[in-house]
Amino acid sequence: MTRVSLRQSALVVSLYLLLGTYAFTVPPLNQVSQSSRSHRRRICPSYMIANFLGGGGEPQGIPRSIKDGINGLRFAMQRALRDRKSRAEINLPRGTPLGVEGPGAGSADDDKYEKSDRELARLTVELFKPIIDNTVVIFSQGRQARRAASIWGTALVKTMALDEMTSSAIKRKNKKAKKGGGFGASEGGGEMTTLPPGTEVCIVVAPGPKELSAVRRLSESLGFDTLLIILNTPLEEASPHLPKDEAVALLSEFEPVFFLNVLNDAAVKTLDNVLLYRSYPGEWSIAQKGALGPPKILASKPERFTKEEKLIALREGAENNAKPLLEKLTSSLWGSG
């Protein structure tokens, strides 16, 4: 398939997100046949819409539930595509069930974090259904990729693994060196297995610091005609564990398109009701979920919060938690301190 530009792909996907005529429901897992995949390509994208979990209108304010958050992700991604953003960071609270696979899809031994990462990847894939044949989902490890393929069905989308992409490239390079036709692969990376020809969307699922170095190399090799998305790895938190040049490059290149996560710090008692939120192209917000009403915004600014600013907001959240119940209810209802 001939490669189309990011602008053309963005137009197709934006139409898909905006003009659909029925609500999206995740197809039953392991029931996506090749024939249904071919049929899907014959359907005009404007006839379908990715209304996650029942959909809804454009969200206002900070999400009050995971369902609201997923709907917000859809709109944020649409706006990013409109602005031709080709590097995106998406984060939802890790370990939170998204209800995609259902209770019987995985095994009792499934790690809850890997399962929630996989569910977010599945939802993100649905955003790009018009170009799903040109979409690739990359996991950190081969076993994770194979697990996803077994649950989703191999006909849904191509899955790959960073560890196997790197090791395959090293084996090929070493084989070439033994024949006298090149140099052996250096320790710590270098070449990677290339993506399938025509790849338009590449979704990397929860890479760790080691894998982020490979993602950085992948980003350089792809160029900006391919949309590259990092899921469930807050780059700001991972950056101290990376070489400085890689951290700076990743933070500058990848746009935080949608970020919704619990905010905590070792210096403050962990709170499960203080959130860090951003939906492209809006501001960053730190908010606290109250007993009633929408989350109360503790702070907001156009750029990322510094560590010190986060700590101040967390301390304010801890003070709010210490208030008597009646005072907390009053604050929640009237928005007072």
- Output the pLDDT for position 274: 87
Q: Which residues pair with 278 in a beta bridge?
A: 259, 284
Write down the CATH number for the domain with range 6-262: 3.40.50
Yes or no: say if 54 and 23 are a contact pair by the CB < 8 Å rule: yes
Residue 163 tokens read as 């560890």
Give, rounded to a whole angstrom, the gap between the first and last alpha carbons of the chain: 58
Please give the model's pTM, rounded to 2 decimal places.
0.76
CA 333 to chain centre: 33
- Which is nearest to 254 in space by CA: 224, 277, 283, 275? 224
Instruction: Give the Cα separation of 158 and 160 in Å (integer).
Output: 7
Burial of 232 (0-12, 13-18, 19+ CB in 10 A): buried
**pLDDT tens sequence for the chain (337 residues):** 445 555 566 555 555 555 442 333 344 444 444 444 433 333 222 223 344 434 556 777 898 888 889 899 999 999 999 999 999 999 999 998 898 887 666 555 578 999 999 999 999 999 999 999 999 999 999 999 999 999 999 888 999 999 999 765 444 444 554 554 433 333 444 566 789 999 999 999 999 999 999 999 999 999 888 999 999 999 999 999 999 999 999 999 999 999 999 887 766 665 668 899 999 999 999 998 877 778 889 899 999 999 899 988 888 877 777 665 444 444 444 444 4
- Which is nearest to 296 in space by CA: 279, 283, 313, 278? 313
- Output the pLDDT for position 293: 79
- Output the pLDDT for position 305: 93
Instruction: Give the Cα separation of 207 and 42 in Å (integer).
Output: 34
The residue behind tokens 């990359």 is 138
Domain locations along the chain:
6-262, 263-337
Yes or no: say if 94 and 262 are a contact pair by the CB < 8 Å rule: no
